[in-house]
Amino acid sequence: MPVSDHIKQIVILGGGTAGWITANAMAHAWADQDVAITLIESPALGTVGVGEGSTPLLKVFFDSIGVEESEWMPRCNATYKNGISFAGWTSRPGFERYFHPFASQLDQHTITAFYFNTYARRLGVDVHAHPDRFFPAAHLSANKQGPRPAESFPFILEYGYHFDANLVGEFLRKAAVARGVRHIAAKVDEIRQANNGDISGLVTENGDEIHGDLFVDCSGFRAALIQQTLDVPFHSFARNLFNDAAVVLPTEQDEHIGSQTVSTALQHGWAWEIPLTERVGNGYVYSSSFCSADAAETELRTHLGLLDSDVESRHLKMKVGRVEKHWHRNCLAVGLSQGFIEPLEATALNLVCNTVDDFIKTVDSDPSPGAGRDAFNERVNGRFEHVRDYIVAHYIMNSRTDTDYWRENGENKHVSDTLQQILGIWTSGKSLSQEMERENIQSSYTPMSWNCLLAGYGFYPDIKPAGAGSAAASQIDMGAIDEFIRRCALNFPSQNDALAFS
């Protein structure tokens, strides 16, 4: 049964990144069907204007709609991202910093050694068990190399991007309009509902009413349709995740462009550093219960050496949590309207792409009204909870004691059963991969990512007296791993060279 039997008119409210990703994905998926898509956005209200780091799923999205990197990256000041470095989150000696790569085919050569050593170290054996030396991406990032190897190199490294959020929005708008999406620049002042409670139309400030069969709420934190009109409850994550504000400041780009996001813990949160081609994006994500906006800005300026500079800052509020149902009645919520988890692992656009892709597949498999809706909502909620658990783990693992903020984070008891199970497996000395599979622990993060996080923070017992486990200690030849990674790295150009699109 074609989708267009039930959905002929799709109306998207909001022209931020979520709105334009949704418009492109739907226009592409249903290009050969009689489905009209309209996107309404208010230039006066504007977009959130942040969100500059992605996971590899953004590449999957661009590939799926047939847009080449050489087309969009230069227009969006985009750079390649190998992963994220976490600096200053713990004071455990030797673990002051670690790198979280994206799971990649190339890691298959070293990951067994990584698992072996982290396992041995969890049993108290004195082996090298910090993640960075086991991952080619960590080496590339330290040397400002990009993730795309020479053509002759036979292995793939997964990567994400850094980009200017406003320019990506503009690029995607043009792409969507070229695919036939109708664009209306106007504020929506009234939302009309039919007798059965479904949304029937959006009335703009000019008095025009735009009718639809399906309405997509991409109105950002306002959540004008899903929350304000349909009253879908919002589940806050504030008990687990304290941060609710951010201050943003650009700095100049170096001659040699970096290829990782750096996340540095400050007194009441953490600061991101995201290298774009034309500037470096910086922001301090903090908790307003522990720190005023002025104090946060001063701390960020001090951190960046901008205390005496008049570079303008921007302050933002964040609402952290998720709606109970992402698809309710004839409304789908995508982006900040459906929920937000603070940006520590740059997962928001990942959730946007997942939500839209899942929705399209659900509707394609059975387009009759509401078919598959409950299962869809359960899946999306699961993704939000899994990402939340992984972010919460960063805060539980911190060993800073310099402020109440860090002490209260470290002592926070609001931890999900899943996260407790994972921490339990780790401390019991069992294999994380095998136990997560055996106990059917669902997580959006792979055992590799969990191993990196827990090992990266040095979450290990004390080393046992010499002698115990000495056979294990000598089994992995770290010199050979260093040499393998060094030789691999010879095949990867610098970030600057990787960005020289012809």
Would you please indicate which residues are annotated as catalytic (active-site) residues? 81
Binding residue for ligand FAD, selected from 3, 12, 138, 165, defined by CB under 6 A:
165
User: Which of residues 212, 275, 343, 372 is near ligand FAD by CB under 6 A?
Assistant: 343
Q: How far is the CB of 17 from ligand FAD (least distance, A)?
A: 4
Closest CA to 145 of 282, 294, 300, 256: 256
Task: List the interface residues with ligand FAD, window 108-137 (CB under 6 A).
Answer: none
Residues 391, 346: Cα–Cα separation, whole Å: 10
As beta bridge partners, residue 6 has none
By beta-carbon proximity to ligand FAD, the closer residue of 3 and 58 is: 58
> Which residue, 47 or 118, has its beta carbon nearer to ligand FAD?
47
User: Measured from the CB of residue 336, what is the shortest distance to ligand FAD in angstroms?
Assistant: 4
Length of the chain: 502
Secondary structure (H, E, C), 334-391? CHHHCEECCHHHCCHHHHHHHHHHHHHHHHHHCCCCCCCHHHHHHHHHHHHHHHHHHH
Where residue 384 falls (left for φ over 0; alpha for ψ -120 to 50; beta otherwise) is: alpha
Residue 334's Cβ-count burial label (10 Å; 0-12, 13-18, 19+) is buried
User: Strand 245-251 to strand 280-286: parallel, antiparallel, or no bridges (unpaired)?
Assistant: antiparallel
Across 52-79, b (16+ Cβ under 10 Å) vs e yields: bbbbbbbbebbeebebebeebbeebbbb
The verdict on 56 binding ligand FAD (CB under 6 A) reads no
Q: Give me the least distance between CB of 322 and ligand FAD, in Å please.
A: 13
Is position 37 an interface residue for ligand FAD (rule: CB under 6 A)? no
Site size with ligand FAD, rule: CB under 6 A: 39
Residue 11 contacts ligand FAD per CB under 6 A = no
Q: What is the DSSP letter of 33?
A: S
Per CB under 6 A, contacts with ligand FAD among 298-327 are 316, 318
Kindly state the smallest distance separating residue 221's Cβ from ligand FAD, in Å: 6
Stretch that binds ligand FAD, among 30-38, 43-51, 153-161, 419-427 (CB under 6 A): 43-51
Q: Kindly state whether residue 47 participates in binding ligand FAD, applying the rule CB under 6 A.
A: yes
Site membership for ligand FAD, residue 348 (CB under 6 A): yes
Query: What three-state secondary structure class fits 197?
Result: coil
- Minimum CB separation from ligand FAD for residue 426, in Å? 27
Lateral strand order in the sheet of 36-41: 182-185, 36-41, 9-13, 214-217, 331-333, 327-328
**Interface stretch with ligand FAD, choices 11-19, 116-124, 453-461, 469-477 (CB under 6 A):** 11-19
Q: Could you tell me which stretch among 82-90, 118-126, 213-221, 296-304 binds ligand FAD (CB under 6 A)? A: 213-221
CA distance 183 to 173: 8
Amino acid at 423: L
Q: Which listed residue (212, 335, 447, 458) binds ligand FAD by CB under 6 A?
A: 335
Instruction: Point out which residues pair with 270 in neighbouring strands.
Output: 265, 285
Minimum CB–partner distance for residue 62 and ligand FAD (Å): 14
Which helix (H) or strand (E) covers residue 138, if one does?
Answer: helix 136-142
| CB closer to ligand FAD out of 47 and 104 | 47
Closest to ligand FAD by CB, 22 vs 330, is 22
Q: Of the listed pieces 16-24, 100-108, 127-135, 152-160, which binds ligand FAD according to CB under 6 A?
A: 16-24
x/- letters, 239..278, toward ligand FAD (CB under 6 A): -------x--------------------------------
Task: Return all residues near 437 (Cβ < 8 A) that are at least 6 apart.
Answer: none
- Find out whether 180 and 27 touch, Cβ atoms under 8 Å: yes
Q: How far is the C-alpha of 187 from the C-alpha of 107, rounded, in Å? A: 49
Establish if 40 lies at the interface with ligand FAD (CB under 6 A): yes
Q: Which two tokens stand for residue 361?
A: 């597949």
Choice between 41 and 107, CB closer to ligand FAD: 41
- 390 or 492: whose CB is closer to ligand FAD? 390
Does 54 participate in binding ligand FAD (rule CB under 6 A)? yes
CB closer to ligand FAD out of 48 and 455: 48
Exactly one of 12, 35, 37, 51 binds ligand FAD (CB under 6 A); that residue is 51
Count of Cβ atoms closer than 10 Å to residue 189 Cβ: 12
222 binds ligand FAD (CB under 6 A): yes
* Beta-strand runs (E) in 403-498: none
Binding ligand FAD (rule: CB under 6 A), the pick from 174, 187, 235, 438 is 187
- Shorter beta-carbon distance to ligand FAD: residue 51 or 372: 51
* Alpha carbon distance 54, 309 (integer Å): 29
Which residues of the chain form contacts with ligand FAD (CB under 6 A)? 13-19, 40-42, 45-48, 50-54, 165, 187-188, 218-220, 222, 224, 246, 283, 285, 316, 318, 335-337, 343, 346, 348-349
